[in-house]
């Protein structure tokens, strides 16, 4: 015990947490989240098994009906599925946050002199890895069954980057649910309730022009549609179009609305 | 800022309400630098709630509190830098190993990579956890978990440590080890505020004790002062013949000037003693009068007896006003006797 001496209370730095500290703390908590992923691989099923199974399934089931044949459906469905899978992965973000907040370790985070933002931002940074895996796998399966992205390597890389950014943005919605939800099951239920319309009332699986008027309007303004359109532009044409701009704007709006709401709700509970 | 910088903890008229229930109902507390202050009380007394308020984990409804002169409500960040909290709630990450946990908390508190590693290793060594360093926490025993939890609170060498029921649920051997660890901690100059349900724990560790009941402080003093308020100990006798009980009562009155408590159905009698060695006087007198005794025990006062003396009701009564924050420790509630508790 001789090595232990106590810090003098007068020597303790009582300043607020700075930006550099917040960043270190966020990255440290991101590291914790990746360790958790590595220890329990089942949390990765939604970004591994799901792209593997869904990509083939959707292509072969809907391909003929919607686009005449599977090959011509692939440029439509592959970016659509990436949008859908990333959105599903976001749901897990909220549920996991709720589960985590219910454990004793979160109480310790609360009594540590750390940024109130880091416990939220940390896991979200780690989730970028999940979006990356999901989009790369979906592209890989697509290419294996005959998808030839016209945008080339650069276009696909751009699409993967955009998918990661979109996932991070959309995750703020589900993070808010995770914070305000009563328990993990409740968070899961409400998240699915929001996720399904966002997924299916979009251009992910079908062109929106066959939808009735009000649904069509929603589907076109749906940020998920904006992102998917941008993914198609990037992957299929390798073009940084106005669609990409709209997607980025949509993501920005979501962050601007849900990030402050989440942080506020979180601080009230911290 | 009116809080006194010379005190480690100063709280005045603290109140926490859960709906209509006043879990903490106007508690004053002063903990001096370098002392071990024990907060003693049954489940639901409001101990944990009070500690959570002081640790910035719960909003203070009324009153004010300061840690080394920093107001808990207006300067929570400064307070968090001065505090280490270990107990029923602050915990470690189940998904990480011991080494990884300490690394995580060290990095979060601004220790550099090398410093975090050496400090973690140092604490694991000190808490006898080096062998288990890379095992998953799920393989840890209760005692090992508590030690790791405490180690995680000491990474930045905080000058004040809160220990919330540090040994509840531990077996006697592990409890003894935990006590030694806490004593070592105090030797480094750390101020400790601990809560406990066990009089013997407060007795072993604390310089001063506050007894809390139903959200209020009912007594404060050293362990000896508290115990002498209920008599030092009790001589418990079981006689062969219940007819002899009045004789014992007579001798008690004559020798120790105390009123014995008779239980004729069980042929039992309890004699309160102000000094433990008076037991010998009573026993010699009974032998001289030829009274057959089946069993003899001399018991120190239990928390129950201290409580009865201080509040007029025993610890079980407090259950009606169960504090939701103390729920985790319910197991101990029905067996306030520390010796019985140890067997768990």
Give B103-148 pLDDT, tens digit per residue.
Answer: 999 999 999 999 999 999 999 998 889 999 998 888 888 888 888 9
Could you tell me if B104 lies within 8 Å of chain A, comparing CB atoms?
A: yes
Residue closest to B168 by CA, chosen among B141, B139, B201: B201
Among candidates A17, A29, A107 on the partner chain, residue whose Cβ is nearest the Cβ of B89: A107
| CA gap A65, A63 in Å, rounded | 6
User: Domain of B287: which CATH number?
Assistant: 3.30.70.920
**Mean pLDDT for the stretch of residues A211-229:** 89
B56 to A111: CB separation less than 8 angstroms, yes or no: yes
Query: Does residue B336 carry a pLDDT above 50?
Result: no
- In chain A, the percentage of residues whose pLDDT exceeds 70 is 96
Among candidates A16, A40, A107 on the partner chain, residue whose Cβ is nearest the Cβ of B77: A16
| CA gap A35, A76 in Å, rounded | 35
Report the pLDDT value the prediction gives residue A171, as an integer from 0 to 100.
Answer: 93
Domain that holds residue B184: 7-227
Residue A32 contacts residue B93 (beta carbons within 8 Å): yes
Residue closest to A268 by CA, chosen among B58, B51, B9, B212: B58
Query: Does residue A167 carry a pLDDT above 90?
Result: yes
ipTM summary value = 0.83
B338 in a structural domain: no
User: Domain of B163: which CATH number?
Assistant: 3.40.50.300
Take residue A117 and report the two structure tokens written for it: 């933002």
Looking at the structure, tell me whether residues B175 and B285 fall in a common domain. no
B339 in a structural domain: no
B99 in a structural domain: yes
Report the pLDDT value the prediction gives residue B23, as an integer from 0 to 100.
Answer: 92
| CA gap B104, B252 in Å, rounded | 62
In chain A, which among 113-132 make CB contacts under 8 A with chain B? 113-114, 118
Report the pLDDT value the prediction gives residue B101, as an integer from 0 to 100.
Answer: 94
Domain boundary among B281, B299, B317: B299
B324 in a structural domain: no
Among candidates B92, B156, B187 on the partner chain, residue whose Cβ is nearest the Cβ of A105: B92
Determine which of A144-153, A260-269, B61-70 has the lowest per-residue pLDDT on average. A260-269
**Mean pLDDT for the stretch of residues A198-225:** 86
Q: Give the model's confidence band at B259: pLDDT under 50 very low, under 70 low, under 90 confident, else very high.
A: confident
Determine which of B106-110, B220-224, B308-312 has the lowest per-residue pLDDT on average. B308-312
Q: Give the model's confidence band at B210: pLDDT under 50 very low, under 70 low, under 90 confident, else very high.
A: very high
pLDDT averaged over chain B?
84
DSSP code string of B126-191: HTT-GGGTTSBGGG--HHHHHHHHHHHHSTT--SEEEEESTTTT--HHHHHHHHHHHHHHHHTT-E
Could you tell me if A21 lies within 8 Å of chain B, comparing CB atoms?
A: yes
B153 in a structural domain: yes
Hey, which residues does B70 pair with through a beta bridge? B67
B340 in a structural domain: no
Residue closest to A178 by CA, chosen among A94, A255, A110, A261: A94
Looking at the structure, tell me whether residues B153 and B260 fall in a common domain. no
Report the pLDDT value the prediction gives residue A208, as an integer from 0 to 100.
Answer: 82
| CA gap B98, B140 in Å, rounded | 9
**Mean pLDDT for the stretch of residues A216-228:** 90
Query: Does residue B319 carry a pLDDT above 60?
Result: no
pLDDT averaged over chain A?
88
Largest CA distance in chain A: 78
Determine which of A45-59, A156-170, B122-136 has the lowest per-residue pLDDT on average. A45-59
Report the residue of B108, B159, B185, B328 to disrupt the A interface, i.e. the one with the largest count of A CBs within 10 Å: B108
**Mean pLDDT for the stretch of residues A184-195:** 88
Looking at the structure, tell me whether residues B162 and B264 fall in a common domain. no
Report the pLDDT value the prediction gives residue B4, as an integer from 0 to 100.
Answer: 52
**How distant is the Cα of A95 from the closest Cα of chain B, in angstroms?**
17
- Which chain B positions have a beta carbon within 8 Å of A31's beta carbon? 104
Report the pLDDT value the prediction gives residue B313, as an integer from 0 to 100.
Answer: 66
B342 in a structural domain: no
Q: Report pLDDT digits (tens) over A64-74.
A: 888 888 888 89
Report the pLDDT value the prediction gives residue B228, as an integer from 0 to 100.
Answer: 74
A113 to B94: CB separation less than 8 angstroms, yes or no: no
Domain count, chain B: 2
Query: Does residue B340 carry a pLDDT above 50?
Result: no
Looking at the structure, tell me whether residues B167 and B266 fall in a common domain. no
Query: Does residue B26 carry a pLDDT above 60?
Result: yes
Hey, which residues does B212 pair with through a beta bridge? B217
Looking at the structure, tell me whether residues B102 and B192 fall in a common domain. yes
Residue A70 contacts residue A142 (beta carbons within 8 Å): no
Could you tell me if A28 lies within 8 Å of chain B, comparing CB atoms?
A: yes
Take residue A178 and report the two structure tokens written for it: 């995770």
* Torsion angle, alpha carbons of B201, B207, B208, B212, to 10: -20
A40 to B108: CB separation less than 8 angstroms, yes or no: no
- Which chain B positions have a beta carbon within 8 Å of A4's beta carbon? 126, 154, 157, 185, 188
**How distant is the Cα of B116 from the closest Cα of chain A, in angstroms?**
12
Looking at the structure, tell me whether residues B274 and B159 fall in a common domain. no
Residue B65 contacts residue B10 (beta carbons within 8 Å): yes
- Which chain A positions have a beta carbon within 8 Å of B122's beta carbon? 3
**How distant is the Cα of B49 from the closest Cα of chain A, in angstroms?**
14
Q: Report pLDDT digits (tens) over A6-34.
A: 777 777 666 677 889 999 999 999 999 99
- In chain B, the percentage of residues whose pLDDT exceeds 70 is 86
Among candidates A6, A32, A111 on the partner chain, residue whose Cβ is nearest the Cβ of B57: A111
- Which chain A positions have a beta carbon within 8 Å of B329's beta carbon? none
Largest CA distance in chain B: 76
Looking at the structure, tell me whether residues B209 and B241 fall in a common domain. no
Q: Are strands B7-18 and B21-32 parallel, antiparallel or unpaired?
A: antiparallel
Helical H runs in chain B? 47-54, 76-82, 98-108, 113-126, 142-153, 172-187, 199-205, 223-228, 245-256, 278-288, 303-311, 338-342
Report the pLDDT value the prediction gives residue A2, as an integer from 0 to 100.
Answer: 39
Residue closest to A170 by CA, chosen among A100, A114, A50, A250: A250
Distance of CA B12 to the CA centre of its chain: 21
Report the pLDDT value the prediction gives residue B332, as an integer from 0 to 100.
Answer: 35
> Which chain B residue has its CA at the smallest distance from A8's CA?
B159
CB atoms within 10 A of CB B33: 17
Could you tell me if B330 lies within 8 Å of chain A, comparing CB atoms?
A: no
CB atoms within 10 A of CB A249: 12
**Mean pLDDT for the stretch of residues A190-214:** 86
Looking at the structure, tell me whether residues B193 and B258 fall in a common domain. no
Domain boundary among B169, B196, B227: B227
Q: CA B49 → CA B45, B54, B107, B342, distances in Å?
A: 9, 9, 29, 25
Looking at the structure, tell me whether residues B115 and B176 fall in a common domain. yes
B81 to A14: CB separation less than 8 angstroms, yes or no: yes
Burial A219-242 (b: 16+ CB within 10 A, else e): bbebbbbbbbbbbbbbbbebbeee
| CA gap A239, A233 in Å, rounded | 6
A13 to B70: CB separation less than 8 angstroms, yes or no: no
Helix (H, G, I), strand (E, B) or coil at A258: helix
Domain boundary among B262, B280, B299: B299
- Which chain A positions have a beta carbon within 8 Å of B8's beta carbon? 9
Could you tell me if B82 lies within 8 Å of chain A, comparing CB atoms?
A: yes
A1 to B184: CB separation less than 8 angstroms, yes or no: yes
Looking at the structure, tell me whether residues B222 and B239 fall in a common domain. no
Contacts 24+ apart (CB under 8 A), A217-220: none
Query: Does residue A233 carry a pLDDT above 90?
Result: yes
**How distant is the Cα of B66 from the closest Cα of chain A, in angstroms?**
13
B307 in a structural domain: no
| CA gap A108, A33 in Å, rounded | 16
Looking at the structure, tell me whether residues B202 and B284 fall in a common domain. no
**How distant is the Cα of B296 from the closest Cα of chain A, in angstroms?**
43
B189 to A21: CB separation less than 8 angstroms, yes or no: no
In chain A, which among 91-110 make CB contacts under 8 A with chain B? 103-105, 107-110
Looking at the structure, tell me whether residues B210 and B274 fall in a common domain. no
Interface size A-B, in CB pairs within 8 Å, comes to 106
Q: Which contiguous run of DSSP H or E holds residue B221?
A: strand B216-221
| CA gap A74, B130 in Å, rounded | 55
**How distant is the Cα of A83 from the closest Cα of chain B, in angstroms?**
30
Report the pLDDT value the prediction gives residue A48, as an integer from 0 to 100.
Answer: 86
- Which chain B positions have a beta carbon within 8 Å of A9's beta carbon? 8, 68-69, 82, 159-160
pTM above 0.80, yes or no: no
- Which chain B positions have a beta carbon within 8 Å of A105's beta carbon? 91-94
Q: Are strands B233-239 and B70-71 parallel, antiparallel or unpaired?
A: unpaired
- Which chain A positions have a beta carbon within 8 Å of B160's beta carbon? 9
DSSP-derived secondary structure letter, A236: I
């Amino acid at each position: 015990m001789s090595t232990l001496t106590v810090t003098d209370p007068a020597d303790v730095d009582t300043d607020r947490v700075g930006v550099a500290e917040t960043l270190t703390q966020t990255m440290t908590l991101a590291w914790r989240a990746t360790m958790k992923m590595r220890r329990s691989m089942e949390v990765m099923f939604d970004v591994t098994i799901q792209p593997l199974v869904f990509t083939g399934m959707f292509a072969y089931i809907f391909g003929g009906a919607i686009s005449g044949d599977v090959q011509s459906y692939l440029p439509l469905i592959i970016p659509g599925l990436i949008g859908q899978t990333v959105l599903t992965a976001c749901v897990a973000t909220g549920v996991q946050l709720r589960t985590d907040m219910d454990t004793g370790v979160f109480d310790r985070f609360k009594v540590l002199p750390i940024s109130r933002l880091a416990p939220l931002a940390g896991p979200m940074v780690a989730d970028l890895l999940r979006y990356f895996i999901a989009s790369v796998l979906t592209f890989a399966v697509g290419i294996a069954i005959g998808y030839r992205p016209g945008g080339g390597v650069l276009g696909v890389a751009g699409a993967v980057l955009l998918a990661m950014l979109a996932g991070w943005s959309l995750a703020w919605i589900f993070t808010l649910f995770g914070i305000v939800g009563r328990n993990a099951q409740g968070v899961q239920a409400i998240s699915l309730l929001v996720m399904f319309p966002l997924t299916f009332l979009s251009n992910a699986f079908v062109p929106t022009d066959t939808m009735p008027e009000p649904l069509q309007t929603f589907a076109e303004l749906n940020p998920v549609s904006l992102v998917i359109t941008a993914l198609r532009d990037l992957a299929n044409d390798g073009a940084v179009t106005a669609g990409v701009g709209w997607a980025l704007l949509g993501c920005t709006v979501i962050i601007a609305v849900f990030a402050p709401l989440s942080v506020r709700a979180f601080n009230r509970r911290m | 800022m009116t809080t006194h910088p010379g005190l480690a903890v100063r709280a005045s008229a603290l109140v926490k309400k859960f709906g209509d229930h006043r879990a903490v109902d106007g508690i004053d507390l002063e903990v001096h630098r370098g002392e071990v202050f024990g907060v003693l009380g049954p489940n639901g007394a409001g101990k944990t709630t009070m500690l959570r308020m002081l640790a910035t984990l719960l909003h203070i409804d009324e009153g004010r509190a300061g840690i080394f002169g920093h107001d808990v409500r207006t300067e929570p960040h400064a307070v968090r830098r001065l505090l280490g909290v270990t107990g029923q709630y602050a915990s470690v990450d189940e998904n990480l190993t011991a080494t990884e946990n300490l690394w995580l908390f060290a990095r979060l508190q601004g220790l550099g990579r090398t410093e975090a590693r050496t400090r973690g290793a140092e604490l694991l060594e000190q808490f006898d956890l080096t062998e288990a360093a890379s095992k998953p926490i799920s393989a840890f025993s209760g005692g090992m978990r508590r030690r790791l939890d405490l180690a995680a609170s000491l990474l930045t060498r905080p000058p004040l440590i809160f220990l919330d029921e540090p040994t509840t649920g531990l077996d006697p051997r592990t409890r003894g080890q935990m006590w030694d660890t806490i004593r070592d901690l105090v030797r480094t100059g750390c101020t400790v505020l601990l809560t406990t349900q066990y009089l013997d724990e407060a007795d072993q560790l604390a310089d001063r004790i506050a007894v809390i009941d139903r959200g209020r402080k009912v007594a404060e003093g050293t362990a000896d002062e508290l115990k002498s308020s209920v008599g030092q100990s009790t001589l418990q006798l079981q006689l062969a013949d219940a007819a002899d009980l009045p004789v014992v009562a007579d001798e008690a009155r004559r020798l120790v000037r105390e009123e014995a408590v008779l239980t004729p159905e069980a042929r039992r009698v309890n004699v309160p003693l102000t000094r433990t060695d008076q037991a010998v006087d009573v026993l010699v007198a009974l032998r001289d009068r030829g009274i057959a005794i089946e069993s003899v025990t001399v018991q120190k006062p239990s928390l129950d007896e201290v409580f009865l003396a201080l509040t007029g009701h025993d610890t079980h009564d407090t259950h009606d006003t169960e504090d939701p924050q103390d729920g985790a420790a319910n197991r101990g509630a029905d067996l306030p006797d520390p010796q019985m508790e140890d067997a768990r």
